[in-house]
């Protein structure tokens, strides 16, 4: 019998996993309300100024053909390509897999419930019930929220935009109004470019006020990772990483090769930290890690420098203590005493980390039934090395929902590797189950 697998989520993780499952001979139901697979949140934008923050040569969907994306897009391996182009590539990649191995059904609906009973039954928002032998949860980041910065008593207003990537989210912002971006990461960098207008000031607010660092104009030779055996806690990790950065500066005059070389050992370092040290890392080191690890293309960074020089982009390193309406404007008071008045406030603070606080009906259903358990610190779901949920059923996940176990798990090179591992694990498990029967 041909195994049937339900893949929930059609962003980069779900699309790539579905393609690998088709290649291995499975039939796939791909469930997502999006009009086309491949876009997800990250690649849904159609603004050509929104670039991938990884060069084309590292974005192939195929482990054994690193040039597949660059060749498909007709670009050099070192180019930073618009993100919507990569979304189109992923959709075409899935189409090619479905033509090679027919068996794909795309279900344009939202999964709201899931039950494990021998196989897997997935319930959609329209009431359809999908039956399968196994399921892969490719849900992406946990639901976005303003709860980290919007005071509980703040008035509801159209001027507060909780999800900037939702269709039409920015359409109602008046061209002559200033805008506040809550967050100073990659999302804020993209939106600052999109919202730049003559006479408008874009304010980017976060506790640190730090923007992502830029990629080097020329890539230095790669460094081997540092020796991490024996790292017993966060202080040891800080010492090893700091020493490795100093060595990179000595050899290359650049800290970036040191950070990039940590990729193969990051999961090992994270897994070796006691939970209190992981919490301490999130509280004390997270923003520094993010701005150095997840960098901007030089073109993006240069545009933001020009905006800051012209005064059309201002970064504030302070928390938000109060949000009030004043006519058709929003007034924000910052922890440093500054007061900002804007026509709109856009949430760029990212997705919620803790699945235990999620309002997504599928996630709450999975946790309530015991089919899924929270990962360390509530970051995603608890998984084994192959991405299988530790709840015991035929359920797997990848990407953002493995953050508690792996930490670095949302960049596409990691997702590509996980997609192959998950697809092989699903099919191997189902074959073993068939043999046992």
Q: Each residue of 120-175: pLDDT tens digit?
A: 999 999 999 999 999 999 998 887 776 667 766 665 667 888 889 888 888 888 88
Q: Each residue of 28-77: pLDDT tens digit?
A: 999 999 989 999 888 989 999 999 999 999 999 999 999 999 999 999 99
Q: Each residue of 302-360: pLDDT tens digit?
A: 999 999 999 999 999 999 998 888 888 899 999 999 999 999 999 998 777 789 989 89
In a shared domain, residues 56 and 81:
yes
Residue 148 falls inside a structural domain: no
First to last CA, the chain: 13
Residue 220 falls inside a structural domain: no
In a shared domain, residues 99 and 50:
yes
Dig out the tokens for 405 from the structure.
């176990």
Distance, CA of 40 to CA of 29 (rounded, Å): 17
Residue 229 falls inside a structural domain: no
In a shared domain, residues 299 and 289:
no
In a shared domain, residues 136 and 39:
yes
In a shared domain, residues 283 and 247:
yes
In a shared domain, residues 300 and 363:
no
In a shared domain, residues 181 and 299:
yes
In a shared domain, residues 95 and 18:
yes
Q: Is 338 helix (H, G, I), strand (E, B) or coil?
A: coil
In a shared domain, residues 137 and 8:
yes
In a shared domain, residues 202 and 252:
no
Q: Is 400 exposed, middle or buried (0-12, 13-18, 19+ CB in 10 A)?
A: buried
Angle at 260 between CA 256 and CA 264, to 5 degrees: 160
Where among 247, 263, 293 does a domain terminate? 293
Number of domains in the chain: 3
What's the domain range around 170?
160-213+295-347
In a shared domain, residues 177 and 305:
yes
Residue 149 falls inside a structural domain: no
Contact partners, residue 131, CB within 8 Å, separation at least 6: 4, 119, 120, 121
Where among 347, 381, 410 does a domain terminate? 347
CATH of the domain at 173: 3.50.50.60
In a shared domain, residues 40 and 137:
yes
């Amino acid at each position: 019998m041909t195994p049937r697998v339900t893949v929930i989520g059609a962003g980069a993780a779900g699309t790539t996993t579905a393609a690998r499952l088709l290649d291995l001979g499975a039939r796939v139901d791909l469930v997502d309300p999006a009009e086309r697979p491949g876009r997800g949140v990250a690649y849904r934008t159609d603004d050509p100024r929104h670039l991938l923050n990884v060069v084309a040569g590292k974005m192939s969907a195929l482990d054994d053909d690193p040039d597949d994306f660059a060749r498909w897009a007709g670009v050099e391996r070192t180019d930073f390509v618009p993100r919507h182009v990569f979304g189109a590539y992923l959709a075409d990649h899935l189409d090619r897999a479905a033509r090679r191995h027919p068996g794909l059904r795309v279900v344009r609906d939202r999964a709201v419930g899931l039950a494990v009973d021998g196989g897997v039954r997935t319930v959609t928002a329209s009431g359809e019930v999908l039956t399968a032998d196994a399921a892969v949860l490719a849900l992406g980041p946990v639901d976005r929220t303003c709860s980290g910065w919007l005071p509980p008593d703040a008035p509801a207003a159209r001027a507060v935009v909780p999800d900037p990537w939702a269709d039409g989210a920015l359409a109602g912002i008046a061209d002559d109004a200033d805008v506040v971006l809550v967050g100073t990461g990659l999302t804020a960098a993209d939106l600052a470019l999109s919202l730049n207008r003559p006479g408008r000031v874009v304010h980017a607010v976060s506790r640190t006020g730090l923007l992502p660092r830029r990629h080097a104009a020329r890539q230095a030779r790669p460094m081997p990772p540092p020796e991490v055996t024996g790292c017993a806690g966060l202080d040891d990790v800080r010492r090893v990483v700091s020493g490795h950065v100093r060595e990179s500066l000595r050899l290359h005059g650049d800290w970036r090769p040191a950070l990039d070389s940590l990729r193969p050992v990051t999961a090992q370092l994270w897994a070796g930290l006691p939970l209190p040290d992981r919490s301490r890392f999130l509280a004390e080191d997270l923003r520094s890690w993010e701005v150095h690890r997840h960098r901007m293309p030089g073109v993006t960074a240069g545009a933001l420098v020009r905006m800051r020089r012209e005064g059309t982009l201002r970064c504030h390193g302070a928390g938000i203590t109060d949000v009030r309406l004043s006519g058709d404007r929003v007034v924000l008071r910052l922890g440093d005493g500054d007061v900002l008045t804007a026509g709109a406030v856009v949430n760029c603070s990212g997705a919620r980390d803790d699945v235990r606080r999620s309002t997504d009906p599928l996630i709450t259903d999975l946790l309530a039934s015991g089919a899924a358990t929270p990962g360390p610190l509530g970051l995603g779901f608890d998984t084994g090395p192959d991405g299988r949920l530790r709840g015991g059923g035929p359920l797997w996940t990848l990407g953002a929902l493995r953050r508690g176990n792996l930490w670095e798990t949302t960049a596409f090179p990691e997702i590509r590797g996980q997609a192959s591992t998950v697809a092989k694990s699903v099919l191997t498990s189902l074959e073993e189950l068939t043999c046992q029967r």
